[in-house]
Amino acid sequence: MSKSYPYFLARDRAWQPAQYTPRYKTSITRSPKQALVSIQRATPSERSGPVFSGLEIGPHDNDLLMNFRTDGVRPSLPIGERIVMHGRVIDQFGKPVPNTLVEMWQANAGGRYRHKKDGYLAPLDPNFGGVGRCITDTEGRYTFRTVRPGPYPWPNDINTWRPAHIHVSVMGPSISTRLITQMYFEGDPLIPLCPIVQVLKDPDAVETMIARLDMARSKSMDYLAYRFDIVVRGALQTYFEE
Amino acid sequence: MYSQYKLQDDTGVLRETASQTAGPYVHIGLALEVAGFASRDDEIWENLAKEGAEGQHIELIGAVYDGNGDLVRDALIEIWQADSQGEYIAEFDNKKPFSGFGRSACATDGHYHFYTIKPGRVDFDHQKMAPHINVAVFARGINIHLQTRAYFDDEQEANSECPILSRIISPERQNTLIAVKEDTEEKPRYRFDIYLQGNNETVFFDF
State pLDDT tens for residues B83-94.
999 999 999 999
Distances (CA, A) of A75 to A66, B37, B73: 10, 19, 36
Distance of alpha carbon B195 from alpha carbon A202, whole angstroms: 29
Spatial separation of the C-alpha atoms in residues A45 and A47, rounded to whole Å: 6
Q: Is the pLDDT of residue A240 over 80?
A: no
Helix (H/G/I), strand (E/B), else coil: B194: strand
For A134-169, how does the pLDDT look when each residue is reduced to its tens digit (9 = 90+)? Answer: 999 999 999 999 999 999 999 999 999 999 999 999
3-class DSSP assignment, residue B8: strand
Interface test with A, best of B16, B26, B40, B196 (most A CBs within 10 A): B16
Q: Mapped to the 3 state alphabet, what secondary structure does chain A carry?
A: CCCCCCEECCCCCCCCCCCCCCCCHHHHCCCCCCCCEECCCCCHHHHCCCECCCCCCCCCCCECCCCCCCCCCCCCCCCCCEEEEEEEEEECCCCECCCCEEEEECCCCCCCCCCCCCCCCCCCCCCCCCEEEEECCCCCEEEEEEECCCCEEECCCCCEEECCEEEEEECCCCCCCCEEEEEEECCCCCHHHCCCHHHCCCHHHHHCCEEEECHHHCECCCEEEEECCEEECCEECCCCCC
The set of catalytic residues of A is 113, 152, 162, 165, 167
Terminal Cα-to-Cα distance of chain B (whole angstroms): 26
Q: Does A14 touch chain B (CB under 8 A)?
A: no
Res A1 pLDDT > 70: no
C-alpha to C-alpha distances, B133 to A55, A220, A222, B81, nearest whole angstrom: 22, 50, 47, 5
For B27, which DSSP code? Answer: H
The whole model's pTM is what?
0.96
pLDDT given at position B4: 52
Residue A26's DSSP bridge partners are none
> Is it the case that residue A79 has pLDDT exceeding 70?
yes
pLDDT, average across residues A130-135 = 98
| Alpha-carbon separation of residue B4 from A105, A208, A210, A216 (angstroms) | 29, 12, 13, 20
Beta bridge partner(s), residue B91: A51
Cβ separation of A24 and B141 shorter than 8 Å?
A: yes
The C-alpha atoms of residue A117 and residue B5 are separated, in whole angstroms, by 38
Helix (H), strand (E) at residue B105: strand B101-105
Measured in residues, chain B has a length of 207
Cα separation, B138 vs B105, in Å, equals: 10
- Chain B residues whose CB is inside 8 A of the A11 CB are 16, 206
B70 neighbourhood in chain A, CB within 8 Å: 29
Please report the residues numbered 8 through 47 in chain B whose beta carbons come closer than 8 angstroms to any beta carbon of chain A.
12-30, 32, 35-37, 40-42, 44
Looking from the CA of A89 toward its CB, the CA atoms found within 13 Å total 27
Q: Environment class of residue B108 by beta-carbon count within 10 Å: exposed (0-12), middle (13-18) or buried (19+)? A: exposed
Distance from CA of A78 to the nearest CA of B (A): 17
Beta-bridge partner residues of A184? A165, A210
Report yes or no: B142 at the A interface, CB cutoff 8 Å.
yes
A65 close to B (CB below 8 A): no
In the predicted structure, residue A20 carries a pLDDT above the cut 70: yes
| B chain contacts of residue A232, beta-carbon cutoff 8 Å | 16-17
The ranges of chain B with pLDDT < 70 are 1-6
Whole-number Å distance between alpha carbons of B90 and A171: 12
A26 interfacial to chain B (CB closer than 8 Å):
yes
Contact B15, A205 (CB under 8 A): yes
Instruction: State the sign of the Cα–Cα–Cα–Cα dihedral A238, B129, B52, B153.
Output: negative
Taking the C-alpha atoms of residue A103 and residue B144, their distance in angstroms, rounded to an integer, is 17
Farthest-apart Cα atoms in chain A, separation: 68
Residue type present at position A83: I
- ipTM passes above 0.90: yes
Distance from CA of B187 to the nearest CA of A (A): 25
Q: How much is the mean pLDDT over chain B?
A: 95
Q: What is d(CA A167, CA A177) in angstroms, rounded to the nearest whole number?
A: 17
Cross-chain Cβ contact B142/A36 below 8 Å: no
Optimal mutation site among B1, B42, B88, B194, interface A, most CBs of chain A within 10 A: B88
Whether the predicted pLDDT of A241 surpasses 70: no
Residues of chain B with Cβ-Cβ distance to A30 below 8 Å are: 66-67, 72, 139-142, 196-197
Q: How many A/B residue pairs have CB atoms within 8 Å?
A: 269
pLDDT at B1: 47
When scoring A27, A43, A99 by the number of chain B Cβ atoms within 10 A, the one with the most, hence best to mutate, is A43
Is the minimum CB–CB distance between A51 and chain B shorter than 8 Å? Answer: yes
Q: Name which of A165, A111, A163, A131 is nearest A63 in CA terms.
A: A131
pLDDT tens digits along B114-151: 999 999 999 998 999 999 999 999 999 999 999 999 99
The partner residue sitting opposite A37, judged by closest CB among B15, B23, B205, is: B205
Question: Cβ contacts (< 8 Å) between B166 and chain A: which residues?
Answer: none
Judge whether B69 is closer than 8 Å to chain A, CB to CB: no
CA dihedral sign of residues B25, B27, B30, B36: negative
Strands B57-62 and B64-65: unpaired
In this predicted structure, what is the pLDDT of residue B5? 60
Please name every residue paired with B104 in a beta bridge, in sequence order, or none if there are none: B77
* CA atoms of A129 and A230, how far apart (whole Å): 24
pLDDT of residue B183: 83
* Residue closest to A223 by CA, chosen among A168, A145, A164, A167: A145
CA-to-CA separations, A118 to A162, A213, B26, B202, in angstroms, rounded: 14, 29, 12, 30
**Taking phi first (over 0 means left), then psi (-120 to 50 degrees means alpha), and beta for anything else, what does residue B200 get?**
left
